[in-house]
């Protein structure tokens, strides 16, 4: 027999001796390669065996003969051998103890060992010691039962590098059904493993991010079936007691916004921040969602799309729905509060008007008497007793008018000191003034400090303070008549205090009136209607309560800049 250089072969008698030590089972098992009892070899195989190709190891000749199996249709052995030798998988043939008898070229390339180095050695030479023993036990249990085993082991190359080996071991049985050889085939699946781990990690990351997002996210196929959703979606599903949120949102978009999101996506179009409401059982009122959608083109994963370039896949719809119920309710609440405040103001004004009308009517009586008394005094027709009587009546009528006026004065409700964020408070005041600002064509430059300490303060009083300052700025710019009207509001944190700037580009306040404007009943407007000249006086009082100050900035020349500083409200206030 020809020996291939460097390949260790075993004599046939030695193999026969090992047979006895090996498996004693007499019957062939379906799992292994078996051979008929007589080993009738077809002519091609006979030809091969009578003259094996140069370098063919004896064990390979025998193993291939056994593996060729079907005596009616044997494979041409030369072709069989070439196939094994050149196969892109690492193939080895071992004895029944896993001692290597043959290894192909791919085995050498994958493991880094030459055939010389592994010949006669146990396959355990490839072990990295990282595969659990239980796997080996299971491997051996299976192959010793003459069944093929397939599994994954952590192998180590000769250069020390570990790789993941996907291994198939098939027992090769002889004519008597005894295990003669093991045929091992393995390939390096490290890359596949790394890719699948990376894919899993990527999936976990995406799911984590999606689940952490405070927005409902759902990805739909063209038929509206859910491919992916997140925790917020599931939460709403729970709130809806099992009714599919998607169905409701889709219907709401159709009814309230007039389009079907799926049709939009099919046309490759998206949409942004469309606000719709749905009824959720147990909620006090509808839940509002700002919906956005994007058409997502997914590449075709079917086999028929393998050779087709470009995106021939489906248009998916990525639907995001942000629960804005809180914001909506806040806006509604602010509107209601505003309405309530306006009603209260109107009622107050109405009451004051009535009281003033009554008082001015009552004042007519003493005035008429004073006029009569003064006429009598001038022409000398009166006497002291009459004058005394008249003065008594005047006093009485005057006191009645005063009592009417006093009764009309609104009682002051003490306001508790609460934590106030001045930025938020100013933002609310600005929101309430939006209509007036728009109507007057005023451009607002809002420059809030990024971080502002919270103050303890009287919220309503502070709100009316800033509303008054903004109303003043509006009137100033209106009376100034300039074409560009700009209002700047800025806040700044000071030590234990907050500074607020209210700046307009109206006519400004001349230096001699900068203190006077804070005096009660001072009115400097051309249009005095509805003005009592008490606004800045009250503003000064509110600022004082908050341990602060208010001044007209003397440095500012392009209009009027009111500088307010506010500290914490005094406890006694």
- State the residues that interact with ligand FAD by CB under 6 A: 92, 94, 97-98, 122-124, 126-127, 131, 133, 136-137, 140, 153, 155, 165, 167, 169, 182, 184, 186
As beta bridge partners, residue 132 has none
Q: How far apart are CA 557 and CA 510, in angstroms?
A: 10
Q: How far apart are CA 444 and CA 484, in angstroms?
A: 11
Cβ proximity to ligand FAD, 103 vs 550, nearer residue? 103
Cβ proximity to ligand FAD, 130 vs 403, nearer residue? 130
- Taking the complex as a whole, the smallest distance from the CB of residue 57 to ligand FAD amounts, in Å, to 16
- Taking the complex as a whole, the smallest distance from the CB of residue 100 to ligand FAD amounts, in Å, to 8
- Taking the complex as a whole, the smallest distance from the CB of residue 227 to ligand FAD amounts, in Å, to 40
Q: How far apart are CA 121 and CA 321, in angstroms?
A: 65
- Taking the complex as a whole, the smallest distance from the CB of residue 92 to ligand FAD amounts, in Å, to 6
- Taking the complex as a whole, the smallest distance from the CB of residue 201 to ligand FAD amounts, in Å, to 27
Cβ proximity to ligand FAD, 18 vs 239, nearer residue? 18
CB atoms within 10 A of CB 80: 19
Q: How far apart are CA 225 and CA 384, in angstroms?
A: 104
Token reading at 336: 């209601």
Give the residue from 109, 98, 28 showing the smallest Cα distance to 69: 28
Residue 368 carries which DSSP code?
H
| Angle at 99 (CA atoms; ends 97, 104), nearest 5 degrees | 135
Residues in the chain: 573
Cβ proximity to ligand FAD, 155 vs 404, nearer residue? 155
Task: Report the sign of the C-alpha dihedral through residues 414, 540, 359, 366, in that order.
Answer: positive
Cβ proximity to ligand FAD, 188 vs 315, nearer residue? 188
Cβ proximity to ligand FAD, 165 vs 369, nearer residue? 165
Cβ proximity to ligand FAD, 167 vs 442, nearer residue? 167
- Taking the complex as a whole, the smallest distance from the CB of residue 267 to ligand FAD amounts, in Å, to 55
- Taking the complex as a whole, the smallest distance from the CB of residue 95 to ligand FAD amounts, in Å, to 9
Q: Do 316 and 221 form a contact (C-beta atoms < 8 A)?
A: yes
Give the residue from 492, 512, 511 showing the smallest Cα distance to 500: 492
Q: How far apart are CA 207 and CA 232, in angstroms?
A: 12
Token reading at 156: 């180590």
Cβ proximity to ligand FAD, 137 vs 335, nearer residue? 137
Q: Name the residue number minimizing CB distance to ligand FAD.
A: 184
- Taking the complex as a whole, the smallest distance from the CB of residue 29 to ligand FAD amounts, in Å, to 16
- Taking the complex as a whole, the smallest distance from the CB of residue 135 to ligand FAD amounts, in Å, to 9
Q: Do 504 and 559 form a contact (C-beta atoms < 8 A)?
A: yes
Which whole-number Å values give the CA distances from 516 to 73, 259, 296, 311, 545, in the listed order?
Answer: 119, 61, 66, 75, 20
- Taking the complex as a whole, the smallest distance from the CB of residue 114 to ligand FAD amounts, in Å, to 16
Cβ proximity to ligand FAD, 57 vs 293, nearer residue? 57
- Taking the complex as a whole, the smallest distance from the CB of residue 58 to ligand FAD amounts, in Å, to 18
CB atoms within 10 A of CB 65: 18
Cβ proximity to ligand FAD, 94 vs 423, nearer residue? 94
As beta bridge partners, residue 322 has 290
Side-chain-facing half-sphere of 150: CA atoms under 13 Å: 3
Q: How far apart are CA 228 and CA 221, in angstroms?
A: 10
Q: How far apart are CA 405 and CA 355, in angstroms?
A: 6
Give all strands (DSSP E) within 231-286, no chain letters.
271-278
Cβ proximity to ligand FAD, 141 vs 333, nearer residue? 141
Cβ proximity to ligand FAD, 186 vs 287, nearer residue? 186
Cβ proximity to ligand FAD, 155 vs 423, nearer residue? 155
Q: How far apart are CA 54 and CA 246, in angstroms?
A: 72
Return the H-helix or E-strand segment holding 414. Answer: none
Q: How far apart are CA 239 and CA 243, in angstroms?
A: 9
Pairing label, strands 149-156, 162-173: antiparallel
- Taking the complex as a whole, the smallest distance from the CB of residue 131 to ligand FAD amounts, in Å, to 6
Residue 556 carries which DSSP code?
-
Kindly write down the DSSP assignment for every residue of 120-181, as one continuous string: TSBGGGGB-S-S-HHHHHHHHHHHHTT--EEEEEEEE-TTS-EEEEEEEEEEEE-TTS-EEE
- Taking the complex as a whole, the smallest distance from the CB of residue 111 to ligand FAD amounts, in Å, to 8
Cβ proximity to ligand FAD, 182 vs 288, nearer residue? 182
Pairing label, strands 90-94, 485-494: unpaired
Q: How far apart are CA 315 and CA 262, in angstroms?
A: 9
Cβ proximity to ligand FAD, 169 vs 498, nearer residue? 169
């Amino acid at each position: 027999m020809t020996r291939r250089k460097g390949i260790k072969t075993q004599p046939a008698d030695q193999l026969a001796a090992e047979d006895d030590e090996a498996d004693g089972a007499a019957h062939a098992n379906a799992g292994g390669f078996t051979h008929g009892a007589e080993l009738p070899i077809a002519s091609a195989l006979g030809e091969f065996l009578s003259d094996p190709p140069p370098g063919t190891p004896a064990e390979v000749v025998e193993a291939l003969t056994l593996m060729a199996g079907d005596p009616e249709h044997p494979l041409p052995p030369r072709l069989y051998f070439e196939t094994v030798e050149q196969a892109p998988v690492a193939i080895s043939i071992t004895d029944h103890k896993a001692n290597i008898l043959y290894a192909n070229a791919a085995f050498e390339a994958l493991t880094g060992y030459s055939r010389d180095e592994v010949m006669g050695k146990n396959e355990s030479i490839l072990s990295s010691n990282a595969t659990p023993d239980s796997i080996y036990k299971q491997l051996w249990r299976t192959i010793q039962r003459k069944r093929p085993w397939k599994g994954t082991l952590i192998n180590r190359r000769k250069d020390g590098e570990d790789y993941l080996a996907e291994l198939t071991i098939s027992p090769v049985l002889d004519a008597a059904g005894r295990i003669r050889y093991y045929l091992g085939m393995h390939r390096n699946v490290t890359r596949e493993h790394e890719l699948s781990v990376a894919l899993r990690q990527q999936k976990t990351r995406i799911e984590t991010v999606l689940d952490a997002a405070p927005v409902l996210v759902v990805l739909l196929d063209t038929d509206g079936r859910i491919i992916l959703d997140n925790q917020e979606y599931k939460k709403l599903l729970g709130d809806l007691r099992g009714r599919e949120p998607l169905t409701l949102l889709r219907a709401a978009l159709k009814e309230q916004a007039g389009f079907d999101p799926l049709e939009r996506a099919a046309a490759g179009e998206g949409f942004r921040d469309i606000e719709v409401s749905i009824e959720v059982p147990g909620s006090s009122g509808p839940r509002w969602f700002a919906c956005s959608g994007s058409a997502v083109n997914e590449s075709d994963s079917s086999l028929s799309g393998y050779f087709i370039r470009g995106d021939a896949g489906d248009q998916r719809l990525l639907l995001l729905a942000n629960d804005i119920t809180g914001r909506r309710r806040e806006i509604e609440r602010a509107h209601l509060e505003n309405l309530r405040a306006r009603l209260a103001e109107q009622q107050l004004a109405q009451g004051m008007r009535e009281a003033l009308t009554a008082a001015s009517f009552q004042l007519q009586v003493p005035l008429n008497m004073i006029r009569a008394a003064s006429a009598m005094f001038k022409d000398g027709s009166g006497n002291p007793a009459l004058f005394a009587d008249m003065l008594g009546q005047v006093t009485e009528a005057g006191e009645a008018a005063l009592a009417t006026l006093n009764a009309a004065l609104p009682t002051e409700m003490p306001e508790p000191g609460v934590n106030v964020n001045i930025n938020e408070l100013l933002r609310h005041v600005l929101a309430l003034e939006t209509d007036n600002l728009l109507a007057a064509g005023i451009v607002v430059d809002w420059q809030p400090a990024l971080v502002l300490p919270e103050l303890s303060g009287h919220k309503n009083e502070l709100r009316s303070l800033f509303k008054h300052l903004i109303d003043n700025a509006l009137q100033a710019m209106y009376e100034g008549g300039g074409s560009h009207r700009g209002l700047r509001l800025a806040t700044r944190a000071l030590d234990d205090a907050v500074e607020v700037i209210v700046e307009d580009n109206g006519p400004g306040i001349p230096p001699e009136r900068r203190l006077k404007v804070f005096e009660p009943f001072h009115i400097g407007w051309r249009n005095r209607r509805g003005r009592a000249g008490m606004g800045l006086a009250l503003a000064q009082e509110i600022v004082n309560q908050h341990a602060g100050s208010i001044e007209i900035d003397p440095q500012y020349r392009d209009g009027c800049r009111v500088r307010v500083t506010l500290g914490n409200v005094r406890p006694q206030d």
